[in-house]
Every structure is written in C-alpha cells, then in structure tokens.
Structure 1
Amino acid sequence: MDGLVAAGRGDVFAYLAERVAAGARPRTTARLLSSLRRFYRRLVSTGERSDDPTAEVEAPRLGQPLPGALTERQVEALLAAPDTGDPLGLRDRCLLEVLYATGLRVSELVALRVDGVSLRQGVVRVIGKGDRERLVPLGEEAVDWVRRYLEEVRPLLLDGRAAEALFVTRRGEGLTRQAFWYRVKRYAAAAGIDPAISPHTLRHSFATHLINHGADLRVVQMLLGHADLSTTQIYTHVARQRLQQLHAAHHPRG
C-alpha cells in the first residue's frame, strides 16, 4: 500500500503498460485509470499527497462502438419465428417485417398511426426525433403483411373499439415499446439467436444490409432519419469489417 501511495507518474504509466501487454482492452484500461485518479485525488484532498500522479496521464481512446447486426439468414429466421396462425403471431410477424423493411426505431414503430400508412404508395409516415417527419418505403413483402394484418387481425383485436395506433393489443390499446421488445427476445431465442440483442438490432441490420448491397450512404441517412451524415457513416465501418471477414474466410490468400 505504501508503494501505491508514493507512486509517481512513471509508475502509473508502467502499471498501465503492463496491463495492456497482458491483454487489457482500452475500456478496461480506462476504468483502471479512472479508479487510480479517484484514489489519488482523495489522497490530495486529505493532505497525504501534494500532487496527483495521474493528472497528466491520458485515458486511451475508446473509439465509437460498432452497432450489432444480424446476418441476413438470422433475420429470415427471426421473421419466420412468430406463429402466423395465431392473431398475435401474425401481428408480430407484421411488426418485424415493417421494422426490418424500414429501419425504424422501435419507438417510431409502435407510434405508427393507421392514417400514416399508404399501402397504395407503399410508404409509412414517421415522426422521428425532434418531431422531424419523413416518408419511408415499405417494400412489397412488408406491404403484403400490413394489408393482411389490417384485414384479418386488427379488427379482431379492436372488437369494435376505435384506435389511432396501427399496432394494437388484445385490449385495443397501442402496443408499448417494452411489450414489443419482450416478444422480440422470445422470438430471437426461438430462432436460435442470442437473446441479448438490443432494441436497435433490426435497425442496425437494415442499415448494414443496405450498405452491403450498395445503397448510397445519403439514402440510408434519409431512411434512418439521421440529422447528421456522420451518424450514418458508422455503417460503412460495419460493412467494411464484414467484407474483410468474408475475404479472410474465402479468399485463397486471405
């Protein structure tokens, strides 16, 4: 303990370098440095030290975390997981199809209104962050599922009640974000997908798959409702990482 109390800036550098050499990740190293800073600041505040040896030690750059995304095969398995012979299963299949077809945030998905859907034009009107409105195409597959849901399931769930929300529960109320995500985790487990997926996983998958298939970055930005292109650019890193993995796995000199 005396050695730790008397340690200098060089000792702190040497300790962190040793941890990095042993395999510590940048985030772990940053946490270690943060703990040391709190320790020495307390020593300075109590008068046990006159200086803080961590004051000029910079924390490692963590970088921007890459969003998790499913493979196209995993998405197909997830979409096929609900039992469409059951009214709620068909509703959930429609929810998943729309979510993957549009890349909406889950909060935007459950907030969709019936009057915001145009099956003839194949688009949905979305109110995103900052009350910004955008039109997002559905695609033929999602249009077919929405039409089937509107004709076969929604009237059954409402049972004569009125509701503005597109997606409703058995009580005729709008579906909540939490309730939907609980069901998605169940479908992910049934499809053999890690149930620790995040509420944004299908949104990330939507963007990543578009980029992988050659979509223009600014088009993806508009579809996702990003105010700044730099927010969308992270998906080019995801796509590049995937291409590198494919090259390493399949190229004879990979």
Structure 2
Amino acid sequence: MIEGWCAQQLGGRRLQKATVENRVHVLRQFRDHAGVGPWEWTAAGFDEWMMDLVSVRHMMPSTLRTYQVVIRQFCDFITSPHYGWATQCEERFGTHPVQVCHDWNTRPHLQDHEANPRRRPLTRSELQQLFDRADEEVQTRLSAGRKGAAAAYRDATLLKVVYAWGLRANEAVMLDVTDLYRNPKVPSFGDLGFLRVRYGKASRGSPPKPRTVATVMPWAVDVLKDYMGNVLPLMRSGTTNALWFSERSRRLGVRSLSDRFALYRDELGLDSSLSPHCLRHSYATHLIEDGHDPFFVQRQLGHAYQATTGIYTHVSEDFANRILREALAKIPPLVDLT
C-alpha cells in the first residue's frame, strides 16, 4: 500500500522525494501506534494517536494538521475504488480500510490564529520607530567616520522593502535588480511599479511559487531608487544582478536580515519573539486598514486561501470601531407604523 501511494505521489502528483519520505515517516508512526495494518485502522485509534501527540509530545497545531492531512490522503488512496485495495483486503483479511479522518477529528485549514500571539504586526508607531532607528544607524556611522555606513544603509532599505512589498525574508534577499519593472498604469513609479518574487514559499514537494507584487507605497519607491542609485554600486561585485550584497560582495543571506532586525528590536524594547516576518503581517494589516480589497491583499501576499491572509491581519481597535460606526450609519432608521 505504501509503495503504491509513493508511486502516486512521485509519479502522478510529481512531488519531491524528500516530501514523500516525510509523509511515509508519518504513516509509519501511526501504524506503530495503532499496532495494526491500515485495513484495521479506526477513527477511535486515530483520535488516541492525536491525543498522544498533543498531551505527550506537545505538538504544535500546524504540525498536527500536517499529520492529519497525510493520514487523510493515504486513507483516500487505499479506500479509492480506482486502486482496488478494499477488495484485496476483503479477500485476504475479511475486512477493508476506511477513512479514519473526518470533520469531527481534524483541524480545518487555518481556522484560528495558531502562531505565537506575540508574532504580530507592528503598530504604525512601532514601525516608524524601527525605521527611524535604522536610519539613525546610518547617520551615526557617517558622522563618526566609521566603516559600515553603506551596509547600515542597505539594511535600513531592506527592512523598508520587506514591509513595503509584504515579503518573506528569503523572498527579499533573493531579489535581483531585474525583478523590478514598470507598471504602465502607474508611470510615476518608473521601473519600480511591479516587483517579481521568484522564490515565493513553496507547497510541500513543489518548487518555489513565483508571484508579482504591485507597488502600493509611493514613499518606498523613492527609498529603493535612492539605494539603487547611490549605495548598490558601492557594494556590487562582478556582473551579478543581486539587489543586496554583503560587505564581502556576496549575496546577502537571511541571517544578516534577521540579526539586524533583532538588534534594533531589542534596542527598542519590542517583544523578543518578533522576527522580520512581522513586517509582512504589518503590511497585510495596514493595507486592510487603508481600505484595500481583501482579495487584492491576498494576491499581493501570494496566499492560496483567504483564511491564511486572515491570520496575517490584526486590525487596530480604532479601525474596527470605525468600521462598526460606518456599518451602523448605513442601517435605515426604524419607521414608526403606529
């Protein structure tokens, strides 16, 4: 059964070998816990395994869902009439496999916010403090005649780009100059009207998902233009088109971005669990608060599900109250029929 399922995953679905191997590892964990073959698996046995993963192994909700998806997909395979496993099991064992995952014992896709609650979007005030601190570092190094002013300027620009285009850390550091191009609908942005993300987050077993992000923050265009015109030429090496370089003229890594963000975060006294990814949360939240359509925000972020965008969006109380007031104002007054 497992070999047939692997063939389906690797051949028909074209998943990567490592992904399939990880899924098989999950299957074998459940098989060992149940102590019986797949034709004898039950929903009750599956529930007991889930309880063990939660209470003993303290598994995170997102990992639990991954395990549930694996078992559900495998059960779909072995119960499908297309492959004949149910008939084979009836003939050999006098019973047949069933689907042990159902709506009552599995978690829906991203129904609730499951991440660490402190990994949240920055408020606009916190965001401004972060950017001001990054800019201050540039001025401090220039005034003192210290090395690293160009690197500090690069980092300040990179933090702003991550926020202004709603990027993941790896998406940002992998940008090339050629990933920026004109939006004919907004000629004032010049060659920075669109940003092409080539290394978007991949689904399990799939290659990176590219997407195109429209520029929506005019101030960011000026920031990036200034960096590309005045700082990038000082750090670029050879003929590579990379947008961000280390001081050794190599493409910048995610670690460098994370370290710089953590330095400023700690100096400002922000939550220690915050990472550069919170800038992406901030982007989603602020676009919604500024009146952008939720579907547009979803496309900008590259999310397949609106529910995924939902966990990125944590609007402020003032915004929620304003929306409520506007909604109440649209309700027609009651007509006195007496």
Q: Which bin holds the TM-score, normalised by the shorter protein?
A: 0.5 to 0.7
Cα offset, 1:208, TM superposition = 1.1
Structure 1 residue corresponding to 2:123, chosen from 48, 52, 71: 71
Match of 2:151 in 1: 88
Structure 2 residue corresponding to 1:132, chosen from 205, 209, 212: 209
Cα offset, 1:147, TM superposition = 1.4
For residues 53 and 319 of structure 2, the distance between their equivalents in structure 1, rounded to whole angstroms, comes to 32
For residues 164 and 71 of structure 1, the distance between their equivalents in structure 2, rounded to whole angstroms, comes to 34
For residues 1-254 of structure 1, the aligned pairs below 5 Å read: 34-35=55-56, 63-65=112-114, 68-82=120-134, 83-85=137-139, 86-118=149-181, 120-122=190-192, 123-127=194-198, 128-130=200-202, 131-138=208-215, 139-158=217-236, 160-235=237-312, 238-239=314-315, 242-243=316-317
Instruction: Decide whether aligned partners of structure 1 residues 244 and 117 sit closer, same or farther in structure 2, where only a CA change above 3 A counts.
Output: closer
Cα offset, 1:32, TM superposition = 11
For residues 32 and 231 of structure 1, the distance between their equivalents in structure 2, rounded to whole angstroms, comes to 24
* Runs of 4+ residues deviating >4 angstroms: 30-33, 244-247
For residues 137 and 32 of structure 1, the distance between their equivalents in structure 2, rounded to whole angstroms, comes to 42
Q: In 2, are the aligned partners of 1:103 and 1:224 still within 8 Å (CA)?
A: yes
Q: Any unmatched runs of 5+ in structure 1?
A: 1-29, 37-57, 248-254
Q: In 1, are the aligned partners of 2:120 and 2:281 still within 8 Å (CA)?
A: yes
Cα offset, 1:185, TM superposition = 0.6
Q: In 1, are the aligned partners of 2:166 and 2:300 still within 8 Å (CA)?
A: yes
Secondary structure of residue in 1 paired with 2:167: coil
Cα offset, 1:214, TM superposition = 2.2
Q: In 1, are the aligned partners of 2:175 and 2:244 still within 8 Å (CA)?
A: yes
For residues 141 and 63 of structure 1, the distance between their equivalents in structure 2, rounded to whole angstroms, comes to 34
Question: What is the TM-score when the length of structure 2 is the normalising length?
Answer: 0.51
Question: What is the TM-score when the length of structure 1 is the normalising length?
Answer: 0.67
Cα offset, 1:246, TM superposition = 7.6
For residues 224 and 167 of structure 1, the distance between their equivalents in structure 2, rounded to whole angstroms, comes to 21
For 1:208, give the aligned amino acid. Answer: T
Cα offset, 1:162, TM superposition = 2.9
1:181-225 per-residue CA deviation (whole Å, 9 max, x = no partner) reads 111111112333223212311001111111222221101101101
For residues 33 and 222 of structure 1, the distance between their equivalents in structure 2, rounded to whole angstroms, comes to 34
Cα offset, 1:99, TM superposition = 0.9
Cα offset, 1:235, TM superposition = 4.1
Instruction: Decide whether aligned partners of structure 1 residues 245 and 156 sit closer, same or farther in structure 2, where only a CA change above 3 A counts.
Output: closer
Instruction: Decide whether aligned partners of structure 1 residues 63 and 142 sit closer, same or farther in structure 2, where only a CA change above 3 A counts.
Output: closer
RMSD between superposed Cα atoms in Å: 3.0
Q: In 1, are the aligned partners of 2:261 and 2:275 still within 8 Å (CA)?
A: no
Instruction: Decide whether aligned partners of structure 1 residues 32 and 161 sit closer, same or farther in structure 2, where only a CA change above 3 A counts.
Output: closer
Secondary structure of residue in 2 paired with 1:135: strand
Q: In 2, are the aligned partners of 1:70 and 1:201 still within 8 Å (CA)?
A: yes
Q: Any unmatched runs of 5+ in structure 2?
A: 1-50, 58-103, 140-148, 182-188, 203-207, 322-338
Cα offset, 1:173, TM superposition = 0.9
For residues 179 and 171 of structure 2, the distance between their equivalents in structure 1, rounded to whole angstroms, comes to 12
For 2:231, give the aligned amino acid. Answer: V
Cα offset, 1:33, TM superposition = 7.0
For residues 151 and 54 of structure 2, the distance between their equivalents in structure 1, rounded to whole angstroms, comes to 50
